[in-house]
Structure 1
């Protein structure tokens, strides 16, 4: 029996029923400069080893895409875990967080591995790569999966399995006889994983891998100690309150204890924001400028408002000014290679004027503050004048806040750079993390729908450009921050679910981003929903779901 497949070139071809996407991909591999690492069937991202049993539309995902690199890293982690189980089975590993183009894995049972140990692990892994050791795609029913997890005493995974329908067939993978379940497709064999290195790092191991699409050489691992410290703090705190996995969050909600976890999470934010305000006002400090920067949907606006309140409590006078009002006039705005305006580059800001105003304000002069008219592309002066006194603190929010060029005229002792991000500690289990970028994308999608009349389709289509700008203009400067504030709330995944699911379901199957929408729906399917009514109106999460006490400022 044959099936008819509509292929990437829009041709229709018959294949025997049971043909895998990997076999189909061989007919198209020569059309691409990068390897095919994942299939798409009927708009849904699918393992290349999946057999096709019905007519449908086929497409492919390449390694040099964000989703393609997810497949690469997921498979690389599996290879590393198998090496650990083969050579050092007494070592317990948990995948923690990304550090640039590297993955930090913590050793959770206190064992220390030497550089010699890492070399042995790396050599073994490279042997499997050289042999193109198969990563075997397997099916398992729910009952068999429960039995396996019971034998392995993996309570969180077993509890998470309860969100899966009883009749659903699950996908698992086997490498050298070791079976694991991963939330997402894997590579067909280890031969794809040619570039990586293992590095001893703190209480664990960093797996360094190439940047997206760059497979000719491995970049030098660049440490991010401030960012990693913040990840560790959040991991330890969420573990302490027993809410570091989706299964634990689901249990808290089902047992009626959601109010408590919300209050504790919000109290942590308030405590940390108050501590930042205290640092600004402590004896011997002379801080009159606070620069707040962070990627999209990190909660910068609400953070700035809450920090301002704490500064007032401490007897200071916060004065907000917008970096957006210092955009170059349209005729001077830099352009991208395609001729469109580049509003995200630092040169899009009139650096000379902004620094001049900072210098004069901090010297006690009165300055006329502009208002940028985005419709005309001109700066306008509408009578706003500012004069600072010894109690004034300028609060400036903008994506370039950490870039020293923005505030070069202000001495370091007179300013504080704050980096805001949503570094989620939440994971599905020891090896399957919920990525920070996914959480921010869900936040942005919900906010765009609530306040900007954008549907999920538009948000998803714009996301690639947003991420490109972050990688270029924000992330390279994050270690320049004096303080990193994590805006993640351990319970927010459950609140966002209620809003994001209907938005994601509205994305048409004919759109390229439908694959991403379905991936996010699959992720959300594992969490129990939580209503927003319990969330205080000054919560950072209110910036996205509505009902914020700061809505006038938003």
Structure 2
């Protein structure tokens, strides 16, 4: 048979030659070890064999998909080792903490440091022996034993929304079989340095960051973020909707309004509680509220809803978006490739912001600018503000927690709030919906609706956005006084009808098609939901439209 390799080169191979063998002929073109195959634009495990005439490419470990495969393979190694040594332990993957994966022990068995040392030793032995990870493609109807969550009694099967002819990849490591949403590496020899730690009721699997696989940074516990994750998990249980299958059940039985109402009520309750903290002036005279979070976390809507609750408490909030203090496009700093670095704090006109902040705190009147994303220019639309005795500045933007913005304001006069969309939804025990994917879908829909960008442009820009978050946002998260989770359990089902048509326009010849296909596959598992019942002040309205705060978005 013949295939068209990277760059369109035509090559001949024996029938049933796996991608891992073909990869040897192209490894010299990649800086890191090849980790994932790309067949006709779709990311697939290297263990599979392409067909005659297929277009074949590869992704190395340093790519986003390659690194995901690295993490998933580490997880499979942990699962296999635990099943071998402590088969009574019931693990469920819950969330990530930087370059670490937290696995909850659902039946609350406490593992000692000696237990973890034994598991570590078994994993290290499998890595040294380069134990292969095998993959088998099976029909959807044969896949239920591998993908049905064990710890939740979901009445709606997870894969019910998929086409009947859909093929599922089932992976095998030793005697353990498991379903993973994305590709896994061909063998455990790719895995490098790792560490297992006890954390709360579970285990933390630490691994090297992308490109630095043999190096582990000193561990810093993120207690505030862990608490928010735990609250999200609890809310999923309270709503009886911890999995995609459970969400599908809500939708198929016609109870989508119920889940929408519960999610929105929970948001409103927590926002009101934060407003009460701001109004409590016994210990602090808060004049400045700073709201920060990664891209598409819903900062603007959260700030507006918080402002409403503050008014109920007799305060006069003055919302200010840091986006309106972007430098004009011609003055925006550039990345090494010549593109605009909007994620840098230096993309903000810090001199103007600090001057306006200082004037407002002195009780003076200031005209707030408005930044046009379409023209790339600053405009003044007559929005004049004065703080007064009952006023509180509410500043939102990705850099809100950076001390460069408020170093001259005493800690007792300001409150820092970190927000992000930390979804508790999972596909099954070992497959979580990445919070970054949820934010990417939000951003994609919003960019199409309000910023004249198509899905391809959003995907092309996303790696720069993520790099900026890692550099400018996440390091400051634990400095927040309060954390708020903006996720809505039902939102994936809402974003589906908006995002699918956008993703469908990305063709297989584009490098971004691999990510687009992964997102399409994820969306195909969830049932679509009617958004008519979503209130006009919902955070998801910031992305899909018809928000009551539309003129401020």
- The TM-score normalised by the length of structure 1 is 0.94
Superposed, 1:206-217 pairs within 5 Å as 206-217=204-215
Superposed, 1:376-455 pairs within 5 Å as 385-455=384-454
Deviation larger for 215-224 or 4-13? 215-224
What is residue 159 of structure 1 aligned with on the other side?
157
Structure 1 residues 495 and 286, CA, compared in 2 at 3 Å: closer, same or farther? same
Separation in structure 2 between the aligned mates of residue 380 and residue 449 of structure 1, nearest angstrom: 22
What is residue 67 of structure 2 aligned with on the other side?
69
2:271 matches 1:273: yes
Separation in structure 2 between the aligned mates of residue 157 and residue 441 of structure 1, nearest angstrom: 29
Whether the aligned pair in 1 keeps the contact of 2:374 and 2:452 (CA below 8 Å) is: no
What is residue 236 of structure 1 aligned with on the other side?
234
Deviation larger for 424-433 or 468-477? 468-477
Q: What CA deviation, in whole Å up to 9, does each residue of 1:208-227 have, x standing for no partner?
A: 01111212322222222111
Of 175, 178, 202, the residue aligned with 1:177 is: 175
What is residue 2 of structure 2 aligned with on the other side?
4
Structure 1 residues 384 and 490, CA, compared in 2 at 3 Å: closer, same or farther? closer
Separation in structure 2 between the aligned mates of residue 532 and residue 120 of structure 1, nearest angstrom: 50
What is residue 455 of structure 2 aligned with on the other side?
456
Q: CA RMSD in A?
A: 2.4
Instruction: Give the SS at the match of 2:428.
Output: coil
Whether the aligned pair in 1 keeps the contact of 2:135 and 2:171 (CA below 8 Å) is: yes
Structure 1 residues 157 and 180, CA, compared in 2 at 3 Å: closer, same or farther? farther
Instruction: Give the SS at the match of 2:466.
Output: helix
Q: What CA deviation, in whole Å up to 9, does each residue of 1:511-546 have, x standing for no partner?
A: 100111111111111111101111111111111111
What runs of 5+ residues in structure 1 fail to find an aligned partner? Answer: none
* Structure 1 residue 338: Cα displacement: 4.5
Whether the aligned pair in 2 keeps the contact of 1:102 and 1:221 (CA below 8 Å) is: no
Whether the aligned pair in 2 keeps the contact of 1:34 and 1:63 (CA below 8 Å) is: yes
* Structure 1 residue 369: Cα displacement: 4.6
What is residue 184 of structure 2 aligned with on the other side?
186
What is residue 38 of structure 2 aligned with on the other side?
40
Q: What CA deviation, in whole Å up to 9, does each residue of 1:382-402 have, x standing for no partner?
A: 765533212101111121100
Whether the aligned pair in 2 keeps the contact of 1:292 and 1:420 (CA below 8 Å) is: yes
Separation in structure 1 between the aligned mates of residue 329 and residue 249 of structure 2, nearest angstrom: 53
Whether the aligned pair in 1 keeps the contact of 2:373 and 2:451 (CA below 8 Å) is: no
What is residue 80 of structure 2 aligned with on the other side?
82
Structure 1 residues 494 and 325, CA, compared in 2 at 3 Å: closer, same or farther? closer
Instruction: Give the SS at the match of 1:418.
Output: strand
Q: What CA deviation, in whole Å up to 9, does each residue of 1:427-446 have, x standing for no partner?
A: 10110000001111111111
What is residue 351 of structure 1 aligned with on the other side?
350
Instruction: Give the SS at the match of 1:200.
Output: strand
Of 202, 205, 227, the residue aligned with 2:203 is: 205
Deviation larger for 245-254 or 441-450? 441-450
Of 46, 54, 60, the residue aligned with 2:52 is: 54
What is residue 492 of structure 1 aligned with on the other side?
491
Separation in structure 2 between the aligned mates of residue 498 and residue 31 of structure 1, nearest angstrom: 39
Of 110, 120, 123, the residue aligned with 2:121 is: 123
* Structure 1 residue 405: Cα displacement: 1.1
Q: What CA deviation, in whole Å up to 9, does each residue of 1:356-403 have, x standing for no partner?
A: 432332232344555668899887777655332121011111211000
* Structure 1 residue 327: Cα displacement: 4.3
Instruction: Give the SS at the match of 1:78.
Output: helix
Deviation larger for 455-464 or 344-353? 344-353
> How many aligned positions are there?
552
- The TM-score normalised by the length of structure 2 is 0.94
2:312 matches 1:313: yes
What is residue 227 of structure 1 aligned with on the other side?
225
* Structure 1 residue 140: Cα displacement: 3.0
What is residue 534 of structure 2 aligned with on the other side?
535
* Structure 1 residue 136: Cα displacement: 1.2
Structure 1 residues 373 and 71, CA, compared in 2 at 3 Å: closer, same or farther? closer
Structure 1 residues 352 and 116, CA, compared in 2 at 3 Å: closer, same or farther? same
Structure 1 residues 157 and 439, CA, compared in 2 at 3 Å: closer, same or farther? farther
Whether the aligned pair in 2 keeps the contact of 1:172 and 1:182 (CA below 8 Å) is: yes
Instruction: Give the SS at the match of 1:221.
Output: coil
Structure 1 residues 536 and 339, CA, compared in 2 at 3 Å: closer, same or farther? closer
Instruction: Give the SS at the match of 1:16.
Output: coil
Separation in structure 2 between the aligned mates of residue 217 and residue 157 of structure 1, nearest angstrom: 44
Structure 1 residues 150 and 541, CA, compared in 2 at 3 Å: closer, same or farther? closer
Structure 1 residues 158 and 173, CA, compared in 2 at 3 Å: closer, same or farther? farther
2:489 matches 1:504: no
Q: What CA deviation, in whole Å up to 9, does each residue of 1:100-123 have, x standing for no partner?
A: 111111111111111111111101
Separation in structure 2 between the aligned mates of residue 212 and residue 332 of structure 1, nearest angstrom: 32
Structure 1 residues 31 and 402, CA, compared in 2 at 3 Å: closer, same or farther? same
* Structure 1 residue 53: Cα displacement: 2.6
Structure 1 residues 224 and 157, CA, compared in 2 at 3 Å: closer, same or farther? farther
Of 8, 18, 21, the residue aligned with 1:20 is: 18
What runs of 5+ residues in structure 2 fail to find an aligned partner? Answer: none
Deviation larger for 28-37 or 122-131? 28-37
